[in-house]
Amino acid sequence: MNILSPSILSADFWKLGEQIRELEQAGVTYLHVDVMDGLFVPSISYGMPVIASIRKGTDLFFDVHLMIEKPERYIADFAKSGADLINFHIEATKHIEETIAQIHRAGKKAGITIKPGTPASAAEPYLELVDMVLVMTVEPGFGGQKLIPECLEKVTLIRKMADEKGLDLDIEVDGGINTDNVESAVLAGANVIVAGSAIFRDNVTENVKAFLKKL
Ligand code: DX5
Ligand code: ZN
């Protein structure tokens, strides 16, 4: 069963609670939460207080995507604020194994993320250690961009590596996914699908239903 993880980066923050409720009622189980620090990526989004606040109102699984330099500095804080899974970029730290261990010690699922320019081979040494690999299908930093199709080839490579190692690994794709290209992402080997602008434009319930039909 493939999973849809709507990214609240494209939500209307005036109505954030209402929109999360609408996602739940439409059958969503995961929420993708993008954290940007203005250093690792050019933009700044939101952080612990927002996560802690929405945590009070929902039992959705919080799939937190850290786009921050030296993520090891903040793992305990994000765990405490209510993350269920913490993804960090391997390009953002020298301490990859230690950061994975820190996430697990906090009792959370751990994911590593790779940018479009980072090869699949860079993730390979960590596959046994993590619960998820997040393969970015756009340059991280902004919602509403177009999917880079070559990134899906890395999904296939990582799925093959995981299968060869006998690992039951989640592979998530993030960036530019819509109902027209989601099937190609699943076919490539992804089982967790992030979508931001394609969920929050126009009618959220209808968009979720259209995605779920294709998963
Ligand atoms: C981009 C973020 C994404 C973003 C996806 O840096 O990691 O999660 O919200 O938005 P769409 O689906 O609009 O590309
Ligand atoms: Zn993301």
Q: Into how many domains does the chain fold?
A: 1
Distance 165 CA to ligand 2 centre (A): 27
How confident is the model at residue 47, as a pLDDT? 98
Task: Convert the pLDDT of each residue in 135-185 to its tens digit.
Answer: 999 999 999 999 999 999 999 999 999 999 999 999 999 999 999 999 999
How confident is the model at residue 77, as a pLDDT? 98
CA dist., res. 146 & res. 175, Å (int): 7
The question of whether 34 is a catalytic residue gets the answer: yes
Q: Stretch 17-42: mean pLDDT, rounded?
A: 98
Task: Convert the pLDDT of each residue in 46-93 to its tens digit.
Answer: 999 999 999 999 999 999 999 999 999 999 999 999 999 999 999 999
Tell me which of 46, 135, 138 to substitute to probe ligand 1's pocket, judged by most ligand atoms within 8 Å of the beta carbon: 138
How confident is the model at residue 58, as a pLDDT? 98
Give the CATH number of the domain where residue 79 resides: 3.20.20.70
CA dist., res. 180 & res. 169, Å (int): 25
Find the domain containing 111 and state its range. Answer: 3-214
Tell me which of 8, 142, 200 to substitute to probe ligand 1's pocket, judged by most ligand atoms within 8 Å of the beta carbon: 142
